[in-house]
Amino acid sequence: MKILCVCTGNTCRSPMLAALLLREITRRHPGRTIVVESAGTGAGTDQPASAETIACMAEEGLDLTRHRSRQLDNLDLAAFDRVLCMTSGHAAYVRSRGVPAARLEVVDALHGGVPDPFGGSRADYQACAAVLGRFARTWELPQESTAVDNPAYLAARAALDQAHAGDPQLLEGKPYEWAYAERLEHWVLSLEPSPSLALRLASRCQHLERWAIPRSDFAQDKAGYFAWRKAVQKRQGQRTIELLSAAGCTPDLTSRVAHLVAKAAPKGDREGQVLEDAACLVFIETELETFAAAHSDYTREKFIDIIRKTWRKMSPDGQRFALALPLPAAIAELIKAAVAP
């Protein structure tokens, strides 16, 4: 697994985190092969770490005298499994270079990221190192995914994707439902890197042929919305069973997937919560801005209430991912207001 730490100049924060993180991961996961590197969004080439950075790390027993800065744009970002950014601005920059949001995280996101100590006092550097050290000690190393080669799973996935392809609505040149399934599965894999076959298939079924029952067929009020959603979920469950059974999935696997798709899992069910988190993350990352634009008549307070209701559905892990998302300023401000104590 490869991890990249990102700041601006790559002479202070990112090399400190890379050194601290590698030490902690090596201690806690001695059997894992881990590479931790660093780079800067505005870094010069081959610049040494600052004197205060070297001194702070020496106090930790770490030697950064041989560190030399690297420009982020010179790296193959696709080679990194996780990119840890010091601020949301860095995350937005990395995202603009094609890295999926699910592979990005802002360090100490709850407090707005990690301020740049460059040009500050020794105390500023020590405070920065303390924040980075806490993060390194508590950050959970993602599990490495394993290849799925189950024939029934592959056949079921192909059948589901064929069903998705029937959606007449397009998103970025792809049937909308198919694009949604890919986004949801991507978040499921970020939250649960080694998912069960049931969870992975369920992640492909959340909007299964929802387009076949138009919302316009129901009353355009709250009661009509709930009636439509109930009809969609019922058909979704039936189609899931039909497609998975025809693909050769066992009755137990088929039943479990249908159970998850119907959101019938009891409170505390880990896989049910992962699906809920993934759906909320898709909404926040890719749908909330469009939703807001389509409801310009809503007050700011109404949007905040919607976000709060979404937030309450999420686990702490899901909320942590959401806070690290590089979002438009207006959306980020609404989320900050919604989750404030």
165-199, pLDDT tens digit by residue? 999 998 878 899 999 999 999 999 888 877 888 89
Which member of 7, 12, 85, 280 is catalytic? 7
CA proximity to 86, closest of 55, 109, 120: 109
Q: Are 192 and 273 in contact (CB under 8 A)?
A: no
Tell me the residue type at 195.
P
Residue 273 identity (one-letter amino acid): Q
Tens digits of residue pLDDT in 232-275: 888 888 999 999 999 998 888 898 898 898 888 788 888 999 99
Residue 13 annotated to the active site: yes
DSSP designation for 130: H
Report the C-alpha gap between 274 and 259 in whole angstroms: 14
> In this structure, what token pair is assigned to residue 64?
């950064």
Closest CA to 6 of 109, 99, 107, 130: 107
Confidence at 100, pLDDT banded by 50, 70, 90:
confident
Give mean pLDDT, residues 54-66: 96
Band (pLDDT 50/70/90 cuts) for residue 308 is very high
Residue entry with tokens 């982020």: 72
Return the percentage of the chain with pLDDT > 70, whole number: 97
At residue 119, does pLDDT exceed 50? yes
Q: What is the pLDDT of residues 199-240, one digit of tens each?
A: 999 999 988 998 899 999 999 998 999 999 889 888 888 999
**Signed CA dihedral, 126, 2, 190, 92: sign only:** positive
The active-site residue out of 13, 183, 210, 256 is 13
Tell me the mean pLDDT in the region 125-149: 81
Residue 134 catalytic?
A: no
φ and ψ of 333, to 5 deg: -65, -40
> Encoding tokens for residue 118?
């460059």
Strands 174-175 and 104-106: unpaired
- Write down the mean pLDDT value for the chain: 90
Given 23, 68, 108, 116, the catalytic residue = 116
The H helix count followed by the E strand count for the chain is 14, 6
Residue 59's pLDDT band, with cuts at 50, 70 and 90, is: very high
pLDDT at 145: 45
Confidence of residue 147 (pLDDT cuts 50, 70, 90): very low
Higher pLDDT, 141 or 104: 104
Task: Tell me the per-residue pLDDT of 9-47, one tens digit each, with 9 for 90 and over.
Answer: 999 999 999 999 999 988 888 766 788 999 999 999 899
Q: Which residue has the higher pLDDT, 30 or 290?
A: 290
Residue 7 falls in the annotated catalytic set: yes
Domains of the chain plus CATH, in order, are 2-138 (3.40.50.2300), 151-339 (1.10.3210)
